[in-house]
Amino acid sequence: MNARAKISFSNLQQEVIDRGLCARCGVCAGVCPVGVIRFDEERFPVLDGRCTECGFCVRCCPGGDVDLPALSQQLFASSYDPADLQGYTENLFVAHPVDQGVRFAGASGGLVTGLLLYLLEKGEIEGAIVVRMDPERPYLSQGTLATTAKEIRDAAQSKYCLTPSMEVLRELRTREGKYAVVALPCQIHGLRKLAAVDPKLAGKIACVFGLYCHCNLNPNGHLEAIQACRISLDEVARFDFRAHGWPGGFFVTKKNGTGVYLHPSIIIKDVMNVMFRLFGGWRCYLCIDALAEFADLSFGDHWAIDYPDNLGKMERCTLVSQRTARGLQFLERAAADGAIVIHPLPRERASKRILTMARGKKERSFVRLLRLAGKGKPVPDYRCAIPRPPASAYRKEWLFRQFFLLRGQRARRLVLKILFSPFGAFLDKVNTWRKRVFGDYHGN
Ligand SMILES: Cc1cc2nc3c(=O)[nH]c(=O)nc-3n(C[C@H](O)[C@H](O)[C@H](O)COP(=O)(O)OP(=O)(O)OC[C@H]3O[C@@H](n4cnc5c(N)ncnc54)[C@H](O)[C@@H]3O)c2cc1C
C-alpha cells in the first residue's frame, strides 16, 4: 500500500470486514487516535464518527495480512516455520501461583492471574488489559483495564467468546507507566504490528501474555447453550465457562442463588469440540497460530494425565511456553520471590494433547487456506508458503465441514439440546470409546 495514500476505515471495511477476514480482536478500535470505532452486536467494528484517515486501524489489523516471518526475525532473531507446532520456544514450564485461592480460581492453574498480581505488586506494571464478564450483563464478556489486584482477580478464567478486548489499548494513551496485555494469537499479531505504527503506544506494553487457542466462539455461542438448558438470560447472575473444578465447564449461577452445571457428565473439551464447529468464528478457522507463538509467555492447560511420572501428579497447573528473555525474567523473578512455583519441562516432553490440538488447528487451516486461495476466495496473507498438509488433514477438514450443515439457528439449537441431555452424555461416551478403539485417544 502506498504509504502516502490516505487510508481510512472504509479500507478496513472493504479489505477486511466485508471479505470475512476480521478477527474481531479490537486492535483497530484500540489504536484509533480519535476513538470513532465501536463494535456491533456480533462484535464487528463499525465507524461511529468522522474518520481522520490516519490509517492506523488498517495498518495494525491482523485480519488480512501479517508478516509472520518478519515478526519472528524481529522478536526472536529466528526464522519462521508455519509447520512448527510450538513456535519459537526457549523453555517450557509447568507452573502455578503459590496463592491457592488464585490457583484454584484460574482456568488452568491460575498462573496468568498470579503473574499479573506479582507484577502489579512489584510496580512493574500499572495494570493489565484482561477480559471480564460485564457487571451489568453478567453473561457477556468484555475487555477491561484492570488496575487493582481485585480487578485482576475478578477477571481470572477463560472466556471462550470473541471479545474485541484490544479496544482497551486506547485507554493507555492518556496513562503513564507500563501495562501487561493478555491476548489471543490474532490479537498478538495486531499488537506486534502496532510497534511499527504507533511506537509510543506500543512502548506502554510491558509484556504480552498469550493464551493457547484452538478456536474462539461467536458471541451467541454460550448464550444459546444457556438457553438450550431452559435458562433465561435475565435469570443469570454469573456465567463461568470453566467452573466446578478442573477442567471445569459451563456453569450458571442464577439470581435466586442456585447454580446449574450445564453438562455434568461431559468434559469441557468435548463440549468445546462441538461448540467450535457450531459457533467458531470464520477468521479463527483460517488462523495458523495455535500456541500464541508471538507472545513473551504463552499459557495453556497442563494435561497432567498425559504424564506417567511426577508431572502426572501436578494437577491445577498452567503450561507455559517461554519465548522471550523478558518473559523468562518475569517468571524467574516471581519464582525467586516466592509468588509462583515453576518446574522445567523438557521440550520433547511437551504435552501430547496440546501438540495434537496445535497440529489439528494448523493442518485444518492449511487445508482451508490452500482450498480457498485456489478458488480465488479471500484468505489472510501470512507472507509464507503454506505447507501441504497430509491426506488425513483433508479427511478431517471434510468431516469438520459437514458440521456446517448444522450451523442454521434451528439445527444448532437442536444439537445443543441433545448435547446437554443424558442422550448427549451417552453419545459422548460412545465417541470416547470410538477414539480409544481407533487410536485417536490419549488420556481421559
Ligand atoms: C478462546 C480461548 C481458547 C483457548 N484454547 C485453548 C486450548 O485449545 N488449549 C489450551 O491448553 N488452552 C487454551 N486456552 C487457554 C486456557 O483456557 C487458559 O486461559 C490458560 O491455560 C491460562 O490459564 P490460567 O489459569 O493460568 O489463567 P487465569 O489465571 O485463569 O487467567 C486467564 C486470563 O486470560 C484472560 N482472558 C480470558 N479470556 C480471554 C479472552 N477471550 N481473550 C483474552 N484474554 C482472555 C483473563 O481475563 C485472565 O486475565 C484458551 C483460552 C481462550 C480464551
pLDDT at site 440 = 58
Ligand 1 atom nearest residue 160's Cα: 1
User: CA-CA distance, 351 to 345, in Å (whole number)?
Assistant: 9
Domain count across the chain: 1
Residue 413's CB is within 10 A of a number of other CB atoms, namely 15
How confident is the model at residue 167, as a pLDDT? 98
Give a yes or no: residue 15 inside a domain. Answer: yes
Instruction: Tell me if 117 CB under 6 Å of ligand 1.
Output: no
Q: Is the CB of 165 under 6 A from ligand 1?
A: yes
Strands 37-39 and 45-47, sheet pairing: antiparallel
pLDDT of 432 reads: 85
User: What pLDDT does residue 4 have?
Assistant: 54
Q: How far is CA 113 from CA 21, 152, 251, 262, in A?
A: 31, 7, 21, 26
Report, in angstroms and rounded to the nearest whole number, the Rg of the chain calculated over CA atoms.
21
CA of 303 from ligand 1 middle (Å) equals 14
Residue whose cell numbers read 490452500: 370
Look at ligand 1, atom 29, and give the residue with the nearest C-alpha.
110
Ligand 1 centroid distance, CA of 438 (Å): 30
pLDDT of residue 120: 98
77 within domain boundaries? no
Residue 131: CB within 6 Å of ligand 1? yes
How much is the pTM? 0.97
CATH number at residue 34: 3.30.70.20
- Pairwise CA distance, residues 299 & 89, whole Å: 12
Q: Do residues 131 and 211 touch, judged by C-beta distance below 8 A?
A: no
Domain membership flag for residue 186: no
* Containing structural domain, residue 36: 9-60
Measured by CA distance, the residue closest to atom 43 of ligand 1 is: 183
**Residues 381/1, Cβ–Cβ less than 8 Å:** no
Say what the pLDDT of residue 244 is. 87
Tell me, yes or no, whether 38 lies in a domain.
Answer: yes
From 57, 26, 30, select the one nearest 141 (Cα to Cα): 26
Look at residue 359 in the predicted model and tell me its pLDDT: 96
191 vs 326: CA distance, rounded Å = 16
What are the 10-residue block averages of pLDDT along the chain, 444 residues in total?
75 98 98 98 98 98 98 98 98 98 98 98 98 98 98 98 98 98 98 97 98 98 97 98 94 97 93 96 98 98 91 94 98 98 93 94 98 98 98 94 92 96 92 78 43
Residue 309 lies in a domain: no
Query: Which atom of ligand 1 is nearest the CA belonging to 163?
Result: 41
Q: Residue 14 domain-assigned?
A: yes
Give pLDDT, residue 375: 98
Q: Where do we find the cell 500499572?
A: 126
Is any atom of ligand 1 closer than 6 Å to the C-beta of 184? yes
Atom of ligand 1 nearest to the CA of 300: 21
Q: Which three cell numbers stand for residue 179?
A: 501495562
Measured distance between the N- and C-terminal CA atoms of the chain, rounded to whole angstroms:
50
In a domain, 263, yes or no: no
Cell of 158: 477463560
Assess if residue 361 is contained within a domain.
no
**Beta-strand pair 249-254/236-243:** antiparallel
Asked whether the beta carbons of 51 and 10 are under 8 A apart, the reply is: yes
Confidence (pLDDT) at 225: 97
